[in-house]
Every structure is written in C-alpha cells, then in structure tokens.
C-alpha cells in the first residue's frame, strides 16, 4: 500500500483543488452582490420590506461565497513552526462571526415586518415584481455556474444549496408581487419577509452550530472515536486495545486523529512501522483523516494503566 502523504502535501493538494472552483465562486459572488444592491434600492423605492429581506438573504449567500474564497487565499500561506496547521481555521471563525451577524439582520427584518403589520404601507407591486424577477434570474444563473462543483467541494455544495433556497424565496416574492399588483393586499409583503427571515434563521443556526463544533474541537457529525476504534479492530486483528483517542476538525474536509494503541503478542519491532503506515492509510481512505498520530505501547503499559 502506498504511503500516505503528510499534512503539507495534502494541504497543498487541497489548495490546488479549491483553486479550480475559485473562478466560479468569484463570478457567482459578483452577480450576487450586484443583485443584492439592486434589491436594496428597489425595496426602498417600492417600499417593499420583502425585497429588502431577500437582499439580506442574498447577503448571507454572498458572505458564504466570500468565506470559501477567503479560505483559498489564506491557504496560500503554508504551515510553519508556530502555525502548524496553517490558517485554515480562519474560515471557521469567519463563519461563526457571520452566523452571529445574521441573527442581527433577522431581528431587524422581523421588527420592520411587525411595524408594517401595525402600520401598512402601500407597496409598488409592479416594481417589486420586476426587481424580484431579476433576482430570480441571477439566482438561477449562480445555480448553473456552481452546479458542476456542487458534489465535489463542501463549501461550493453549501453555497449551491443556499442559492436553491434563495431562488425559492425569489419565486415567492414574484408571486406576492403579482398578487399585490392586482389586489392591493399589502400585508402579504411583511408576511413574506417573515418567511424569508425564517429561512435565514435556519441557515444562521446551522452555521453557528457547525462552526461552534469545530472551534470547540468536537468530533464531526456522524463520526466518533468509538466508531473508529471498532472499525480498526475489525480490519486489523493485530490490535488489542485503543485508548486516549482524540478526533477533531481543522475544517470540514480536514480531520485529525490521535490514539494510543496496544498490539497483541507476536508482532516484532521491525513490523510496527509498516503496520502504523497501514493504519494511517486506512484512516485516510475510509474517513478522510488527513493526519493520524498513533502511539504504540507495550502490553505491560496496557496492564498498568487505568483505561476508561
């Protein structure tokens, strides 16, 4: 089995891979920002809080794309003696700050919507329809731009699904604009803005949960040290016991694992290095753990220590 590459080689490959998606992300970001500004101006002219709230929704996606681009540029700085994992975690920190900021946006939109319920304002339905239609066309364009990379890159995939949700909200605003234009049911405008706020809240909570898990070095969803330990014992009969196991995330696609490992009798010292390489490769191929540190201990140590 081929020896697993070290962290610096893998991080270099990750940077090269993410760079492939950079042009798509920049194009999508540019389109999103332009339409976000158009929706803010259009919302103010048409007195539509729904358009303004959708602009806030588009901001969440613009920020998500920006985080992905930020990770690519920061990854140019290689790990060094005091930044041994590089600066990949800045992507997670930015996501956490973004999640908190989104809660502020949601609070503002809901407050404005409630004020509109109490004091209805006439909405220019035709203008609202035109701006929302432009937003929908842009969302569909971004979906097409990002669709080729959505299954390969986690960041691109998350942005892709954000765009799907954004397109759905744009469709809702287009429908409401048509109804308002013919019926003057102005209360539909703040009602839709609250619905869009709920969508933003859903993404904000998801961002905060995931970024908090990573910053607190909690094991990633769907994976834990017991699962890994059982998998190693099933695939490597030489293992007697694993303990002092740790699993954490640098970024969603960069996992790190460490453990103490006791082997059964019969494995000589010359075989241990090859055996550790096999374990490292297994963890990399099965769980995408880019760096694993395995400390082999003797049976005497295993008997003397208190394993919990």
**Residue 137: predicted pLDDT:** 83
Confidence label for 155 from pLDDT (cuts 50, 70 and 90): low
Asked, for residue 234, whether it belongs to a domain, the answer is yes
Structural domains in the chain (count)? 2
Confidence label for 93 from pLDDT (cuts 50, 70 and 90): confident
Q: What is the CATH number of the domain that holds 89?
A: 1.20.1510
**Residue 296: predicted pLDDT:** 83
What CA–CA distances, in Å, run from 129 to 48, 136, 168, 184? 10, 10, 15, 13
pLDDT tens by residue, 118-154: 887 777 777 778 777 877 887 788 778 777 655 455 5
* 185 & 238 share domain: no
**Residue 282: predicted pLDDT:** 92
Domain residue limits at 276: 225-304
Can you tell me the distance from the alpha carbon of 142 to that of 147, in angstroms, rounded to the nearest whole number? 8
Mean pLDDT of the chain: 76
Q: What is the CATH number of the domain that holds 281?
A: 3.30.70.1350
* 137 & 252 share domain: no
**Residue 257: predicted pLDDT:** 92
* 188 & 93 share domain: yes
DSSP H or E stretch at residue 289: strand 289-297
Question: Which residue among 195, 215, 235 closes a domain?
Answer: 215
Question: Which residue among 215, 238, 253 closes a domain?
Answer: 215
pLDDT above 70: percentage of residues in the chain: 75
pLDDT tens by residue, 1-10: 444 555 555 5
* 203 & 291 share domain: no
**Residue 228: predicted pLDDT:** 92
Confidence label for 299 from pLDDT (cuts 50, 70 and 90): low
**Residue 231: predicted pLDDT:** 92
pLDDT tens by residue, 212-248: 888 888 888 888 889 999 999 899 888 888 888 999 8
* 195 & 69 share domain: yes
Can you tell me the distance from the alpha carbon of 182 to that of 176, in angstroms, rounded to the nearest whole number? 10
Burial class of residue 273, CB neighbours in 10 A (0-12, 13-18, 19+): exposed
Task: Look up residue 239 and give its two tokens.
Answer: 């293992």
Can you tell me the distance from the alpha carbon of 134 to that of 154, in angstroms, rounded to the nearest whole number? 28
pLDDT tens by residue, 52-83: 776 776 787 787 777 767 766 776 666 666 76
Kindly report the number of other CB atoms within 10 A of residue 301's CB atom: 11
What CA–CA distances, in Å, run from 13 to 17, 76, 152, 200, 254? 6, 11, 14, 33, 12
**pTM (two decimals):** 0.68
Of 195 and 20, more confident = 195
Residues 97-118 have a mean pLDDT of: 80
Can you tell me the distance from the alpha carbon of 11 to that of 47, in angstroms, rounded to the nearest whole number? 49
């Amino acid at each position: 089995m081929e020896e697993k590459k070290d962290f610096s080689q893998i991080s270099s490959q990750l940077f090269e891979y993410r760079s492939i998606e950079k042009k798509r992300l920049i194009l999508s970001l540019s389109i999103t920002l332009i339409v976000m500004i158009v929706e803010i101006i259009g919302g103010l002219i048409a007195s539509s809080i729904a358009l303004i709230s959708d602009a806030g929704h588009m901001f969440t996606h613009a920020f998500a794309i920006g985080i992905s681009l930020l990770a690519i540029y920061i990854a140019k700085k290689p790990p060094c003696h005091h930044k041994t994992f590089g600066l990949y975690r800045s992507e997670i920190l930015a996501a956490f700050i973004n999640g908190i900021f989104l809660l502020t946006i949601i609070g503002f939109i809901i407050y404005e919507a409630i004020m509109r319920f109490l004091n209805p304002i006439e909405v220019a339905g035709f203008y609202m329809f035109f701006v929302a239609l432009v937003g929908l066309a842009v969302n569909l364009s971004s979906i097409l731009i990002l669709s080729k990379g959505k299954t390969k890159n986690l960041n691109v995939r998350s942005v892709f699904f954000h765009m799907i949700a954004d397109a759905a909200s744009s469709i809702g605003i287009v429908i409401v604009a048509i109804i308002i234009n013919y019926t003057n049911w102005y209360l539909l405008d703040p009602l839709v803005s609250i619905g869009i706020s709920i969508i933003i809240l859903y993404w904000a909570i998801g961002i905060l949960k995931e970024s908090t898990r990573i910053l607190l070095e909690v094991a990633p969803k769907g994976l834990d040290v017991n699962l890994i330990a059982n998998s190693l014992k099933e695939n490597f009969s030489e293992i007697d016991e694993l303990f002092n196991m740790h699993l954490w995330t640098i970024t969603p696609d960069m996992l790190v694992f460490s453990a103490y490992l006791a082997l059964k009798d019969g494995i000589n010292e010359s075989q241990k290095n090859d055996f550790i390489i096999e374990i490292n490769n297994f963890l990399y191929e099965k769980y995408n753990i880019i760096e694993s540190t395995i400390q082999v201990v003797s049976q005497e140590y295993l008997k003397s220590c208190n394993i919990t």
